[in-house]
Amino acid sequence: MLSVTPVYAALLAILFIALSVRVISQRRSDKISYGDGGNTAMLKVMRTHSNFIEYTPFALLLIAMVELQGAGGLLLNLLGLTLLSGRLLHAYGFGRSPQIIILRQIGMLLTFAAILVAAIANLVLAL
């Protein structure tokens, strides 16, 4: 039974909603119903949201599989905190104008670290 992954999934879902609301707000303020309308601010909020959704589900799936294979709470919480921190830092750094490049880079590094460690843990636990 999963008890750790759902906590991080819920926190990441809240971040997802916040990023979604930013896209909706930008669409309303710029009167753009579809696409980016050639508007760089719209493109930025769309890509911030899209980047989140491109990485987060896969990472959560890997973490859930690690948990289902019986990994300890320390590893699971490290993976969850690494992913959550990475996604927060990336969204904040990328979503600013101008971007805060170092936060964007650290955010991606943490996201990749969570995915890689979860992948390795899954292999070790499965084999």
pLDDT of 1 over the 90 cut: no
Mean per-residue pLDDT for 8-20? 98
Q: What is the CATH number of the domain that holds 54?
A: 1.20.120.550
The pLDDT of residue 11: 98
- When divided into structural domains, the chain yields a total of 1
Average pLDDT in the chain: 97
The predicted pLDDT at position 41 comes to: 94
Range of the domain at 85: 5-126
Give residues with Cβ within 8 angstroms of 83, minimum separation 6.
8, 12, 56, 59, 60, 63, 110, 111, 114, 115
| pLDDT tens per residue, range 55-97 | 999 999 999 999 999 999 999 999 999 999 999 999 999 999 8
Separation CA 105–CA 86 (nearest Å): 9
